[in-house]
Amino acid sequence: MPRDPRFDILFEPVQIGPVTAPNRFYQVPHCTGMGYRRPKSLATMRGVKAEGGWGTVCTEYCSIHPSSDDEPFPSASLWDDEDIASLAMTVDEVHAHGALAGVELWHGGAGSANFYSREAPLGPASQPAGVWDPVQTRAMDKSDIRDLKRWHLAAAKRAQRAGFDIVYVYAAHWYLIRQFLLPSNRRTDEYGGSLENRARLLRELIEETKEAVGDTCAVAVRFSASNGGPDNDQDTSEPREMIEMLGELPDLWDIVVHDYSYEMGTSRFVPEAGLEQTMSWVKTVTSKPVVSVGRFTSPDTMLRLVRQGVIDLVGAARPSIADPFIPQKISEGREDEIRECIGCNICYTGDQTGTPIRCTQNPTMGEEWRKGWHPEFIPPKGSDSTVLIVGGGPAGLEAAVALGKRGYDVMLAEARRELGGRVSLESQLPGLNQWARVTEWRLNQMAKLSNVEYYLESVVDEEQILEFSADHVVIATGATWRRDGIGRWHEDPIPGWDGSGVMTPDDVMAGMVPSGHVVVYDDDHYYIGGVIAEKFRKEGLDVTLVTPANEVSTWTTHTEEQYRIQQRLLSLGVDLQTGMSLASIGEGSVTVECVFTGRTHDVAASNVVMATSRKPQDDLYHALVDRINVTRIGDCLAPGTIATSVYSGHRYARELDADVPVPVPFRRE
């Protein structure tokens, strides 16, 4: 299909200082959990983005000097000349597809605790360093500031030698340069106090970086358009004054905000183009090109923001992770094939846990080098085998689509009246509606595959499966929530679990309505307990959330949601009982027990929702395993996230009739 001419504007080149971006699609710096530890994985992954049409592809934050490391979160680094070669691999991969390569030079200052280098962290003042880490910075004196500028220039020159086209001065988030910009910088020398003084370090770094590498490299500044506040009423006054002052100095402004949970907020809390109101003034105070993000997956939204002069370049991290080929798809009139980011932030959990990036929508993310997986191409089938898949959740659907694309004849049987499994159910819960995109994209792909058939309302049993006589049978029947309370805290059933008022998340999603006072017992610690508490409270019920953890939905610190979830539940008036386990369930009340002291008290409860752990639905698998060629995937194999199910289904499809290395099924760096 030809490109819709209204999108032509997105494919116009953009001059950025001495370099020209071939189009407006700009992959902003984003962390990957790979950094300096996995340079080949990184280079190949970034190269795939350039191949997919992103006209500019940047690295993650790149430490300029050992006086700032962010371990255990792996950043890139340009500490000395030895670091050049590994980043040059990324540059080469990106250049191979005609895109520009950008590097985000970084010094964390008080934002990092330096547990790897063991150097005393640096800051504008002696202040707490890291997050909750028990260390403080050393206040920088004038010679430290001179050193910092020297290191920054040395790293910029190394970046130039590596071949980068865009070099960043990173003045955003809670890192060193921004620590100088903030009103809390009360230094009494010319680098603190007045707004002009606080901006002095940034001004000097921009000027000196341009002087050093500006002949071939554009100098970009990453900058926060706000100093915090409610999402659509952020305090932008000082940032605005600063851009008014420095606006013409860099070649590009890369605009973000103070608060990560807003800037890269999950779809549960922040809509597409969520930063628009906060940053739309930037282009009125600078003539330089502006890039910003907003989980843009809709070409129309991209178009509107460019047309309205809010941005010049369409910035993306997550949309480019979920679909590295968005630009190419728009260019070829295939907008309907865009695999839209669902805004779950599983991709961010890689960095947060010091492990390589993964994506719910794109199972090939992070596997480009080590498994040779490509997001758009999959090898043709290795035989004429037929495949029967039982279960049309994310695992079964992904397997069906990927096998279908390989050319296998696939039949999929689904018990329910609709496909999507847990995704179609969970996406009905408050704030999770965009998760339905996991199903929608796969249904759309399946519709284009004449070799994939599916049957709804088809509960198949062992004998029916045998009747299909498929060469391969895949059991993707998912998992069900346990009713007995066994989970992370309880190894044995909770007394009273079999009472009539006990429900599971499956019951809630099937439409069962509780009455009176509801206790949600969350020993799962991801989103489901918090989201069910939110749902019932919004429906007007009295809700108590009990969890053995010290905060609600504690794993969501990795998705940058925990603070917002707890804030929302508290504002809604949900009673939060943290550090408490559920000791027993009685008639009309439950007994909860402090996990520290063992002290107990009773809480009124006419219903209890057990969000603790899940049981794989693997009976069919066990009934068939000794009789036919059968495999289980997804939650049926091991209950996990939607991302693990999609990956599991994709992996099955890739590995059918393929040679898979043993014992390690991937390449290592």
Q: What does the per-residue mask of binding to ligand ADP show for 607-626, with x meaning CB under 6 A? A: ----------x--x------
For ligand SF4, give the closer residue by CB, 557 or 589.
Answer: 557
Q: Is 28 among the residues that bind ligand SF4 (CB under 6 A)? A: no
Q: What does the per-residue mask of binding to ligand ADP show for 627-656, with x meaning CB under 6 A? A: -------xxx--------x-----------
Beta-carbon count within 10 A of 126 CB: 13
Binding-site size for ligand SF4 (CB under 6 A) equals: 13
Lookup result for tokens 């371990």: 71
393 binds, among ligand ADP, ligand SF4, none (CB under 5 to 8 A by kind): ligand ADP
For ligand SF4, give the closer residue by CB, 227 or 362.
Answer: 362
CB 13 within 8 A of CB 26: no
478 binds, among ligand ADP, ligand SF4, none (CB under 5 to 8 A by kind): ligand ADP
- Look at residue 222 and give its three-state secondary structure: strand
- Look at residue 209 and give its three-state secondary structure: helix
> Closest approach of Cβ 432 to ligand ADP, in Å?
14
169 binds, among ligand ADP, ligand SF4, none (CB under 5 to 8 A by kind): none
For ligand SF4, give the closer residue by CB, 468 or 563.
Answer: 563
DSSP string, 301-348: HHHHHHHTTS-SEEEESHHHHH-TTHHHHHHTT-GGG-----S--HHH
CB 387 within 8 A of CB 470: yes
For ligand SF4, give the closer residue by CB, 324 or 478.
Answer: 324
DSSP-derived secondary structure letter, 136: B
> Closest approach of Cβ 529 to ligand ADP, in Å?
18
Q: How many CA atoms lie within 13 A of 288 on its CB side?
A: 20
Q: How far apart are CA 51 and CA 32, in angstroms?
A: 18
Q: Is 32 among the residues that bind ligand SF4 (CB under 6 A)? A: no
Q: Which of 19, 252, 285, 347 binds ligand SF4 (CB under 6 A)?
A: 347
How far is CA 494 from each of CA 138, 192, 584, 585, rounded to the nearest angstrom? 51, 58, 6, 7
Q: Is 423 among the residues that bind ligand SF4 (CB under 6 A)? A: no
Q: How far apart are CA 444 and CA 602, in angstroms?
A: 50
Q: Is 345 among the residues that bind ligand SF4 (CB under 6 A)? A: yes
Judged by CB under 6 A, which stretch of 60-68, 79-87, 354-362, 617-625 contacts ligand SF4?
Answer: 354-362
Q: Is 360 among the residues that bind ligand SF4 (CB under 6 A)? A: yes
Q: How far apart are CA 104 and CA 244, in angstroms?
A: 23
- Taking every pair of C-alpha atoms in the chain, what is the biggest distance, in angstroms? 83
Query: What tokens appear for 285 in the block?
Result: 């105070």
Q: Which of 460, 470, 528, 545 binds ligand ADP (CB under 6 A)?
A: 460
Q: Is 416 among the residues that bind ligand ADP (CB under 6 A)? A: yes
> Closest approach of Cβ 486 to ligand ADP, in Å?
19
Q: Is 414 among the residues that bind ligand ADP (CB under 6 A)? A: yes
For ligand ADP, give the closer residue by CB, 415 or 625.
Answer: 415
- Phi, psi (rounded to 5 degrees) for 602: -100, 150
Q: What does the per-residue mask of binding to ligand SF4 show for 322-341, with x meaning CB under 6 A? A: x------------------x
Q: Nearest to residue 221, comparing CAs of 180, 166, 258?
A: 166
Q: Nearest to residue 335, comparing CAs of 296, 367, 384?
A: 296
User: Integer distance in angstroms from the first to the last C-alpha of the chain?
Assistant: 40
Residues sharing a CB contact under 8 Å with residue 479, sequence separation 6 or more, in sequence order: 614, 615, 616, 617, 635, 636, 639
Stretch 304-323 residues interacting with ligand SF4 (CB under 6 A): 318, 321-322
Query: What tokens appear for 424 in the block?
Result: 């179609």
- Phi, psi (rounded to 5 degrees) for 52: -75, 0
- Look at residue 24 and give its three-state secondary structure: coil
Q: Which of 302, 413, 486, 656 binds ligand ADP (CB under 6 A)?
A: 413
Q: What does the per-residue mask of binding to ligand ADP show for 370-399, with x meaning CB under 6 A? A: --------------------xxxxxxx---
Binding-site size for ligand ADP (CB under 6 A) equals: 25
> Closest approach of Cβ 392 to ligand ADP, in Å?
5
Stretch 176-205 residues interacting with ligand ADP (CB under 6 A): none
Q: What does the per-residue mask of binding to ligand SF4 show for 264-303, with x meaning CB under 6 A? A: ----------------------------------------
Q: Is 342 among the residues that bind ligand SF4 (CB under 6 A)? A: yes
Residue 248 CB-density burial (10 A; 0-12 exposed, 13-18 middle, 19+ buried) = exposed
Q: Is 172 among the residues that bind ligand SF4 (CB under 6 A)? A: no
175 is an active site residue: yes
Stretch 424-483 residues interacting with ligand SF4 (CB under 6 A): none
Judged by CB under 6 A, which stretch of 216-224, 284-292, 344-352, 584-592 contacts ligand SF4?
Answer: 344-352
For ligand SF4, give the closer residue by CB, 192 or 375.
Answer: 375
Residues sharing a CB contact under 8 Å with residue 381, sequence separation 6 or more, in sequence order: 403, 406, 407, 408, 656, 657
Q: Which of 327, 421, 487, 548 binds ligand ADP (CB under 6 A)?
A: 421
Amino acid identity for residue 336 in this structure: D
Residue 433 CB-density burial (10 A; 0-12 exposed, 13-18 middle, 19+ buried) = middle
- Catalytic option among 175, 262, 527, 621: 175
The residue count for the chain: 669
For ligand SF4, give the closer residue by CB, 137 or 434.
Answer: 434
Pairing verdict, β 542-547 and 517-522: parallel
Q: Which of 226, 361, 556, 612 binds ligand SF4 (CB under 6 A)?
A: 361
Q: What does the per-residue mask of binding to ligand ADP show for 461-490, with x meaning CB under 6 A? A: ---------------xxx------------
CB 359 within 8 A of CB 347: yes
Stretch 536-595 residues interacting with ligand ADP (CB under 6 A): none
Q: Is 181 among the residues that bind ligand SF4 (CB under 6 A)? A: no
Per the DSSP assignment, residues forming a β-bridge with 26 are 56, 315
For ligand SF4, give the closer residue by CB, 54 or 79.
Answer: 54
CB 51 within 8 A of CB 20: no
Q: Which residues bind ligand SF4 (CB under 6 A)?
A: 318, 321-322, 341-347, 359-361
Q: Which residues bind ligand ADP (CB under 6 A)?
A: 390-396, 413-416, 421-422, 458-460, 476-478, 617, 620, 634-636, 645
User: Catalytic amino acids?
Assistant: 175
